[in-house]
A and B are shown apart, each in its own frame.
Chain A
Amino acid sequence: MEQIAQLLLAGTIFLSFALLGTASLSGCVRLLSFQGYCLSLLPIFIHQDGFTPRSLLLVAGMAILKGWLVPKVLLHAIREVRAVRETEPLIGYGVSLLIGLAIVVISALLAQRLPIPAGVRSGLLVPVSLATMMMGLYMTVSRLKALTQVIGYLVFENGIYLFGLLISRDMPWLLEMGVLLDVFAAVLVMGIVIHHISREFDSIHTDRLTQLKG
């Protein structure tokens, strides 16, 4: 069990790295979907008493949401605006990978300083979630296309979800529902916004969104 959890966590990090190094938008979405499936499987493996009805339900919900629905919406948006690839990221892909590596090291160091409460198995959960969050944030700020920014934001959300797993065992239902709904709502609203941006500008380059200054 623990071994599978570790593999899934490693897979999550690999996918984050792959996202940092991928130019094709649909490729990014596919990777994001894989990452969603990786994350969604974790709740049953991360805790000692994993196979509860509640965690199985969570698995199903997250797999549908993060693995299927969100990528589907994003792919739809890509088709809608006929975008193919991130043409000019602010920072090149090679350098991005190195920055990703630095992020992993930093989050490993950070995680060492934070004491993990008993009852949570994988000590890797904290560094992996911190690294995923930071890589997502980094992607959001270093890319110019609206869609890649949203993908970065979703990676960031994935990292937060991973962190939430630490406390998911004892957290009340309401919060889990809230997290799900809010992620969903955020993406939905962003999707609409992108849709409008494409209609207004004919492309979804946030680089052009520079009229407001100062």
Chain B
Amino acid sequence: MTALAGLLAHGAALLLLPPLLLGIIGKTKAAFGGRTGPPFLQPYHDLLKLLGKGAVYSRTTTWMFRLGPVLSLAAILVAGCVVPLAGGSALSFTGDAILFAYLLGLSRFATITAALDAGSSFEGMGASREAAFASLAEPALILVLAGLSGSSGDLSMTGMFGGAARWETASGLVMAAVGLFLVLLTENSRIPVDDPATHLELTMIHEVMVLDHGGPDLAFIQYGASVKLLLWSSLLVRLLLPDAPGAAGWAVWALGVVALAAVVGAVESTMARLKMPRVPQLLFVAICAAAFAMMFMVK
């Protein structure tokens, strides 16, 4: 019975919570800017509005263009099954960390191929940037995962992100958190890597790839992005905050995720976007932090 309740709660949080994070980030940025900003629930309205629209497809596109958003969202949602939220994950087995990494890769692949399929030079440019930065973010993720599996002796995501803050490897945890946070910013196209609110195609990374998508496709993409943000936030929260059974655990987790969204908002408000050549240096820092995390934790 409790297992079923946990599963339901997991599903509900995974499906319903993500747009709220976008709302919190938007609200934080508004607060830093001295504005009231859109309401917290604005992203839900936007998504509903987009879902109600029709889609226009260019004659040059093929089935890949239509497949992209769907496949991307599906991959992210499946990845969400193996990521532990508050009480553990919906699905857990040895080696699911690899599945997680590759599902995210698949989602990115779908977005990139769809962007290339549109045949626009801007989208191609965005796709190449996305691919380049993602390929730099991935080693950091793998190193953090390796370190965590070394210290916990477990190869499943639930075991690695066990939610118990371990003091004997505190330095490793700090390093892992730094690495994961930078990867989070990169994967979710946040400042200082990418600016989701920019209006200049030349400086865009993620946004420029989805310019040609409209209606439900765009809704899928935006919803998928928000789910991805939730997944990464959850990992970071589970890494740092202690676990508790039942409702208390959910409360701690939700608080952590919300706080993290606020932190992301604060980073976005206080930092400028990095110049494009500096982004690899930031990711280099992430890789180094992850490498240190691994060294500290495995030892």
A and B touching (C-beta < 8 Å)?
yes
Residues of A within 8 A of B (CB): 2-4, 6-7, 10, 13-14, 17, 21, 93-94, 97, 101, 123-124
Residue B170 at the chain A interface, CB threshold 8 Å: yes
A94 touches B170 (CB 8 A): no
A7 touches B285 (CB 8 A): no
Residue B175 at the chain A interface, CB threshold 8 Å: yes
**Could you write out 14 A-B pairs with CB less than 8 Å apart?**
A3-B167, A3-B169, A4-B171, A6-B172, A6-B296, A10-B171, A10-B289, A10-B296, A13-B292, A14-B288, A14-B289, A93-B281, A94-B281, A123-B299
Residues of A contacting B: mostly: helix
Nearest-neighbour CB distance to chain A for B143, whole angstroms, equals 13
Residue B280 at the chain A interface, CB threshold 8 Å: yes
A21 touches B299 (CB 8 A): no
A17 touches B285 (CB 8 A): yes
Instruction: List chain B residues, Cβ under 8 A from A10.
Output: 171, 175, 289, 292, 296
The complex places the Cα of A184 from the Cα of B32 at a distance, in Å, of: 45
Residue B174 at the chain A interface, CB threshold 8 Å: yes
Contact digits for B158-191, partner A, Cβ 8 Å, 1 yes 0 no: 0000000001111110110000000000000000
Residue B284 at the chain A interface, CB threshold 8 Å: yes
Chain B 136-152 residues near chain A, CB threshold 8 A: none
Chain B 266-299 residues near chain A, CB threshold 8 A: 277, 280-281, 284-285, 288-289, 292, 295-296, 299
Instruction: List chain B residues, Cβ under 8 A from A101.
Output: 284, 288
Instruction: List chain A residues, Cβ under 8 A from B170.
Output: 3
Residues of B within 8 A of A (CB): 167-172, 174-175, 277, 280-281, 284-285, 288-289, 292, 295-296, 299
B281 touches A3 (CB 8 A): no
Residues of B contacting A: mostly: helix
A97 touches B281 (CB 8 A): yes
Instruction: List chain B residues, Cβ under 8 A from A4.
Output: 171
Nearest 8 Cβ contacts at the A-B interface: A6-B171, A3-B171, A3-B170, A10-B292, A7-B171, A21-B281, A6-B296, A97-B284
Instruction: List chain B residues, Cβ under 8 A from A17.
Output: 284-285, 288
- Do A14 and B285 form a contact, CB below 8 Å, given A6-B296, A123-B299, A124-B295? yes
Q: A10-B171, A97-B281 are in contact. List 5 more A-B contacts (CB 8 A).
A: A3-B169, A3-B170, A6-B171, A17-B284, A17-B288
The complex places the Cα of A6 from the Cα of B277 at a distance, in Å, of: 30
Instruction: List chain A residues, Cβ under 8 A from B167.
Output: 3
- Identify the closest chain A residue to B292 (Cβ): A10
The complex places the Cα of A123 from the Cα of B168 at a distance, in Å, of: 16
B175 touches A94 (CB 8 A): no
The complex places the Cα of A21 from the Cα of B168 at a distance, in Å, of: 33
- Identify the closest chain A residue to B281 (Cβ): A21
